[in-house]
Amino acid sequence: MENSIVKLRGYKDGLHLIINPKVSLTEVETAIQELLDSMNQPLAGTSIHIDMRPLPLSSEDLKKLETHLTENYDLVVSGVNVFDEKDESPILAAPATHSISQSLTNDNQPDFEQSQIVRQTIRSGQTTSCLSGSMIIYGDVNPGGEVVAAEDIIVLGALRGNAHAGAHGRLSSVIIAMELVPLQLQIGSYVNRPPVGQKPRGYPEIARVGAEDIIIVEEFIKF
């Protein structure tokens, strides 16, 4: 089930914990535990920002929350951003950007003219590559199957095998799947191996290199 209370996003200045404050501190702490428990990689020692609206969390609540994050998850809270009610809701912010030099701009958006479209499921033992652009798969990638692309990989089905985007070192590449339960993800030289037996979350997800130079997997909303 989607976590509607807290979300984790990677921006150019680091990771942001985005909180919908129309709940109690206890509910926020429970939502944070569920979010961090569902992640593919531990974040111990990571510096994060907190983004939220004013009330109902008081300054005392925020101090308790910072202590909770530090003592229970070994996270370092580097700042708190409080948004006015007129501002765009941070909970609906676009997916993460990151601090590496190759960010998604108009000059390096995916070149879909160079894309390869695969209209079949990639089965165990099969490897399909597109080393000139992005790859779009109308089907699944089964366990034991592998897809490799110079740019992005988009799976309009379940990704249960291996996927390597940015095969020539393009770290701004992303991997998107309607159901993202892979054996291994790789973007450029960064590798992510999710826990064995991970269950689908019930919504499309996107994997990208985040601000802490790790692969972050989160709900896919839009580019």
The pLDDT assigned to 13 comes to 55
**The domain spanning residue 149 has which CATH number?**
2.160.20.70
Q: For residue 39, is it within any domain? A: yes
Q: Which residues contact 57 (CB under 8 A, 6 or more apart)?
A: 19, 21, 25, 28, 65
* Number of domains comprising the chain: 2
Considering the domain architecture, whether residues 25 and 71 belong to the same structural domain is answered as yes
Per-residue pLDDT of the chain (223 residues; tens, 9 = 90+): 456 788 877 654 567 788 876 778 888 888 888 887 776 566 777 777 777 765 556 667 778 888 888 888 888 777 776 665 544 444 333 333 333 333 333 334 444 456 889 999 999 999 999 888 899 999 999 999 999 999 999 999 999 999 999 998 888 899 999 999 999 999 988 888 877 777 888 899 999 988 767 888 888 886 5
Residue numbers of the domain that contains 148: 112-219
Query: Rounded CA gap, 89 and 29, in Å?
Result: 20
User: Which pLDDT does position 163 carry in this prediction?
Assistant: 96
Alpha helices in the chain, H assignment, sequence order: 25-37, 59-73
Domain-embedded: residue 102: no
Q: Is residue 99 part of a domain?
A: no
